[in-house]
Amino acid sequence: MDSEALRKFSALHPRPAGLTLHYGTAGFRSAAQHLDHVVFRMGILAALRSKAVTATIGIMVTASHNPEEDNGVKLVDPLGEMLHPSWEEYATQLANAEEQELQKVITEICQKAAVNLHKDASVFIGRDTRPSSKKLSQSVIDGIQVLGGQYHDYGLVTTPQLHYMVCCQNTQGQYGKATLEGYYEKLSKAFMELIKQSHCSGEFQRHLKIDCANGVGALKLSEMKPYFPQEVLFHIYNDGTKEKLNHLCGADFVKVHQKPPGGLDMKPSERCCSFDGDADRIVYYYKDTAGHFHLIDGDKIATLISIFLKELLAKVKQDFKMAVVQTAYANGNSTRYLQETLKVPVHCVKTGVKHLHHKAQEFDVGVYFEANGHGTVLFSKAAETKIRQLVKEEKDNEKREAAKMLENMIDLINQTVGDAVSDMLVIEAILALKGLSVQQWDALYTDLPNRLLKVQVADRRVIDTTDAERRALTPPGLQEKIDALVKKYKLSRAFVRPSGTEDVVRIYAEADTQENADALAHEVSLAVFHLAGGKGAPPQP
């Protein structure tokens, strides 16, 4: 390692005094002006990780659904998955090291992770449309170059596109071509193949209004448009030409506020969807004829996809194990519908995409979505091989057709990570193939009324949970109190969990009516305030 180069470059990216940041599920996120030293050092870490695993690593500059003034950075592992947990710790150590300790920390990481500095390093870089992203990605390049690494800068891409490129590169093209054209071609071809098999020829099916959160999704969808025939009518709103990123729009805004985004004029029964700022989440919604807003979140997206896949799997008559993975935030009625009506096993895991992804890998077909609209489907290697073999060799027409549809679904789904563009195409194809309107999809089951609250506490670590965050172990007495409160209401449940990013405790409650869900959430928030060291004034109803 060239210590002179490290000293010289590090001086160009000084660490502000007193700033400590932690690498979490979303990588690092903060106000953009605090991140220059962090992204420079993550350039170094990406090169180290690449040398350690002798593969290409991705690095994405984005803060997803955060306000435009923020930014962030996260690393992508060789198969397009999130950074290995042991390296999250190294990321935090490196980001917070004092200037003069930098070389020592790098050497320690090399020893712990058995990094051979003489090996080559290769890093793919992507960024979102924030004003600060271009300069920050230049700082990433400085970090990579300190260790003599090679890099390919893809410039403006969605987060899932970068995950896709990294996976393509490290599978020597087996997963696809590591170019944007390769991504557009693979997805559009699979989509058109599926649509071909649809018998429904209504214009109503093809119209879709898309809120792109004034983010990178708008640019990439526009680039993808020529790959689709005329009859596919995707109308792009909030394309970033007029308003600020994520301001009063995007998937997070729509989900949290339960109302349509600004900048999109909705007529009754029109199908609409929203991406978030870096296009890795999607939610659907519509207005009914009475003008009421209806949200279709990640739970209902997982349900639609599960119905479709289960039917196809039944037709190919293979003994594939299928399951849906949810978190405690999934609506109780979605879980009931999947288990009781669809007869699909449901597994609950801790909040955070990495936990869902990890669990979904245990099945031949693992569907996972968070309620916020982030999710995908994973197919085991064995299931994929068998399906592709059936397409080639199966004599029975119905079986072969079903296998062909499954093969196209495998190609249409971005299995590396939740991808708003890919998920949207999957949903549109299923709606067309099943001849379903957005209202019919919504009517599969009715969500139980629910309420999300948060309570400020002095230290979020006083709350410890178990059973996939559904029960509190500490502080003493809190879970007993929650159990007693839940008993007062019908079809109710509630849980509390510490935030991963700030000193607040998040509370979720659901019950048979909105009034009861609100009352339960408030009573639980008071219990948290009194038993877990609440700050400021007690929560008001």
Catalytic residues, by residue number, are: 64
Amino acid in position 436: L
**Does the annotation list 501 as a binding residue?**
yes
**Does the annotation list 372 as a binding residue?**
yes
What element of type H or E holds 144? helix 133-146
> Exposure string (b/e) for 50-73, b if CB count within 10 Å is 16 or more?
bbbbebbbbbbbbbbbbebebbbb
**Does the annotation list 278 as a binding residue?**
yes
**Does the annotation list 280 as a binding residue?**
yes
Spatial CB neighbours of 241, under 8 Å, sequence gap ≥ 6? none
**Does the annotation list 371 as a binding residue?**
yes
**Does the annotation list 500 as a binding residue?**
yes
Spatial CB neighbours of 509, under 8 Å, sequence gap ≥ 6? 450, 451, 453, 492, 493, 494, 517, 518, 520, 521, 524
Tell me how long the chain is.
Answer: 541
Residue 369's SS3 state is strand
CA-to-CA distance for 540 and 204, rounded, in angstroms? 46
Q: What angle do CA 121, 127, 132 make, to 5 degrees?
A: 115
**Does the annotation list 497 as a binding residue?**
yes
**Does the annotation list 64 as a binding residue?**
yes
- At residue 340, φ and ψ (nearest 5 deg) are -90, -40
> Exposure string (b/e) for 377-386, b if CB count within 10 Å is 16 or more?
bbbbeebbeb
- Closest Cα partner for 259 from 298, 226, 286, 281? 286
- Answer for the pair 278, 62: CB distance below 8 angstroms, yes or no: yes
**Does the annotation list 15 as a binding residue?**
no
CA-to-CA distance for 197 and 40, rounded, in angstroms? 49
Amino acid in position 332: G
The DSSP annotation for 509-529 comes to EE-SSHHHHHHHHHHHHHHHH
> Which tokens is 331 given?
């609506």
Give the chain's radius of gyration (CA, Å): 24
Widest CA span of the chain, in angstroms?
70
Spatial CB neighbours of 519, under 8 Å, sequence gap ≥ 6? 489, 511, 541
Annotated binding site for Mg(2+): 64, 276, 278, 280
Which residues define the annotated binding site? 64, 276, 278, 280, 370-372, 497-501, 506
Numbered residues of the known binding site for substrate: 370-372, 497-501, 506
